[in-house]
Amino acid sequence: MNYDYDFFVIGGGSGGIASARRAAEYGAKVAVAENDRLGGTCVNRGCIPKKLMVYASHFPHLMEDAQGYGWSAVESQLNWQKMVVAVNQEVDRLNGVYGRMLDNSKVELFRGLARFVDDRTVEIGDRRVTADKILIAVGGKPVKPDIPGIESALTSDEMFALPEQPKRMVILGAGYIGCEFACIMNGLGTEVVQVLRGDRILRGFDDDLRETIQNGMQESGIRILTQTEIKRIEETGNGIKVVLEGETEEVLTDVVSLAATGRKPNLEKLGIEQTKVEVKDGAIVVDEHNRTNVENIYAVGDCIGRIELTPVAIKEGRILADKLYGSKDGLMSYDAVPTAIFTTPEAATVGMTETQARKEFGDAVKVYRAKFRPMYYTLAGRDEKTMMKLVVDTASDRVLGAHMVGDHAAEIIQGVAIAVKMGATKADFDATVAIHPSVAEEFVTMR
């Protein structure tokens, strides 16, 4: 049977575009449908604008630190509107880059919402097209909890478009997105209160990493309310009243952000019920080749509920296209996937946490840990600590996990991740000559 396209991708985010372009390189006739801006969450409402705001939030400390090195004091104020405009201009530029990449790859772009008609037919507006194979790459969206008054709260999607800088902000949740926004806004001068149901942030990460970041956040002035829940949110003449259940009864604020209450696959309006694609716990079920139970329909990225990271979606998409159109039978590996948390202090990690390792390897696990003040802060006069940690299986000497909290943690762990992925041993780390003086050298000198 003849189809309009060999490969039709629903979703113009990082995973969908990567897969579409790779398939087109092999000569497939490819189209992408996107009803929002190209680039998905990462480019438009995630990684890119967030990291730019992280940079902006660091300048007050940098200007203060400079005085310890002999520079005169600097009087400076943030122009919130100028920062927001600059960030959004960069997002606009990247949208254009993605559009040009599709054009250069000869991938046709449909601007609109794509819905399934059947297993091989999708509808975009008033046009129907058929495809031999269809990829679902629709990403995810924020979840709003069922709290009275929740309609006045922002999600992470709206954080980049605030017309004015709030003087006060309450952030609900303890995930990495919420922690990152808490640190960004605190660094920019907003008074931040973060509300946690548990007693510690960043559930699922290594405990030493969690404790070090939380202590650093609190020392920087972020008020963290543990064992606390929001009961309701009320608009008042003096701001927004957040009524709490915990040691603190209420907080008055200008903005409530739900940046850390989770995300879910964006499957609404997809018409997936017109197919037999299996959905479990809100996510599309796929096999190790990212194929659904319908043989010609595939899915990658956040909508499959595995590891919700942009580079993971990109790799899934490219491996899929390589298999379908390049005769390369690769498999996506979810072991030793590195990730960073752009809080202040910054953190990054790869491999097993200490808890995970002890659960699997028991008493054979040995931990190497260092905590110190980096040289930079000696003249700056700040008591900032860096934490570095290796988790090792003594039976094989293999490094199971590496964790770091401190400046440039993401840049450092990216290199360490290669070693961990390759199965490097502690002896391999020890045999590596250190770069001195540097923070990174601690990973090869820990005893």
Sheet bearing 250-253, strands edge to edge? 229-236, 239-245, 250-253
CB 275 within 8 A of CB 131: no
Q: Which two tokens stand for residue 68?
A: 């310890």
CB 9 within 8 A of CB 40: no
Q: Among 374, 436, 369, 437, which residue's Cα sits nearest to residue 403?
A: 369
CB 122 within 8 A of CB 10: yes
Contacts of 280 (CB under 8 A, 6+ apart): none
Q: Among 321, 434, 320, 330, which residue's Cα sits nearest to residue 388?
A: 434
CB 427 within 8 A of CB 397: yes
Q: What string of DSSP letters covers 102-158? A: HHHTT-EEEES-EEEEETTEEEETTEEEEEEEEEE---EEE-----TTGGG-B-GGG
280: amino acid identity, one letter? K
What's the chain's Rg over C-alpha atoms? Answer: 24
Q: Which residue has the tokens 């390589």?
A: 322
Question: CA-to-CA distance for 349 and 294, rounded, in angstroms?
Answer: 36
* 408 labelled catalytic: no
Using CA atoms in the order 226, 230, 236, 239, what is the torsion angle rounded to 10 degrees?
40
Which of 58, 289, 408, 436 is the catalytic position? 436
Enzyme catalytic residues:
436
